[in-house]
Structure 1
Amino acid sequence: MYSNGKNTAHSGEGRLVGNIVNTLIFTVMFAAGLYALSYWTLETAWWPTIACFALCFLAFAIPMHLMGRADSIEEAAAANAAL
C-alpha cells in the first residue's frame, strides 16, 4: 500500500513480542473466567458467574474496541487532514 508516494509498512511489522504478550494476557483472562466457573455451586452461584462474565467480557472487549482501533487512528487523521 502506498501513502504520499511512499511504500507503507505492514501494520503488524516489528510488533511480534507485544502481540504475543497481549495474546497471552487476554488468553489468561479468558481462561481465568472459565476457571471461575469451577467454583460454581447452587449456594454460591452469583460470584463465580459474575467473575466469569466480567473476565470473559474484558478478554474480548479490550482487544476489539480499544486495541483494534489503534491502527485506524492514523488513517482517520490522514483522511481528515485531506479534507
Structure 2
Amino acid sequence: MISNGKVKAYSGQGNLVGNLIAFLFVFGLLVGSVVAIGFWSLENAWIPGLSFMALWTLAFFVAKEVIGRSDSLEHQDLHGEHGEPLDAMASRAAESQASTREPKAH
C-alpha cells in the first residue's frame, strides 16, 4: 500500500483498532447469518432464508469490495500487464519498436 508517497510494509500496518472494528463488523454479519438460518423451519422458510442470504452476501461484499481495496490506487497504475514496474514496461516497448538494423546501446 502506498500512503503519502511511501510504501507500507503491508496494508494493515498501524491500523490495529480499525482492523479490529472491521473484523468484528464482518464477523458479526456472519454470526448473524448463522443465527438467522437457525430459525429456518418448513413452516417458516422465507424470512430466515432471505435474511441469511442478505447478511452473508453483505459480509462477503464488505470484506472483499470495501475493506479489501486498501492496496489499490485509483489514478496511478504502478505495474504493467505482467507485474513489472511501468518503467520496465516502457523500456520493453521502446526496444520492441526500435529498428532491428540499429545496434542496441548497452
Place the TM-score, normalised by the shorter chain, in its bin: 0.7 to 0.9
TM-score (norm 1): 0.76
Counterpart of 2:7, as a letter, is T
TM-score (norm 2): 0.61
Q: Which moved more, 1:18-27 or 1:62-71?
A: 62-71
Counterpart of 1:43, as a letter, is E
TM alignment of 1:1-80, pairs within 5 A: 8-10=7-9, 11-73=11-73, 76-79=74-77
Distance 1:9 1:70, change over 3 A: closer
Cα distance, 1:77 vs structure 2: 2.2
Distance 1:45 1:79, change over 3 A: same
Cα distance, 1:70 vs structure 2: 3.1
SS in 2 for 1:72: coil
Q: Report the number of matched residues.
A: 76
Stretches of structure 1 that go unaligned for 5 or more consecutive residues are 1-5
Matched residues in 2 for 1:28 and 1:17: separation? Answer: 16
Counterpart of 1:78, as a letter, is Q
List structure 1 runs of 4+ shifted beyond 6 angstroms.
none
Larger proportion of helix: 1
**Root-mean-square deviation (Å):** 2.5
Matched residues in 2 for 1:41 and 1:55: separation? Answer: 18
Cα distance, 1:16 vs structure 2: 1.0
Q: Which has the larger radius of gyration?
A: 2
Cα distance, 1:7 vs structure 2: 5.7
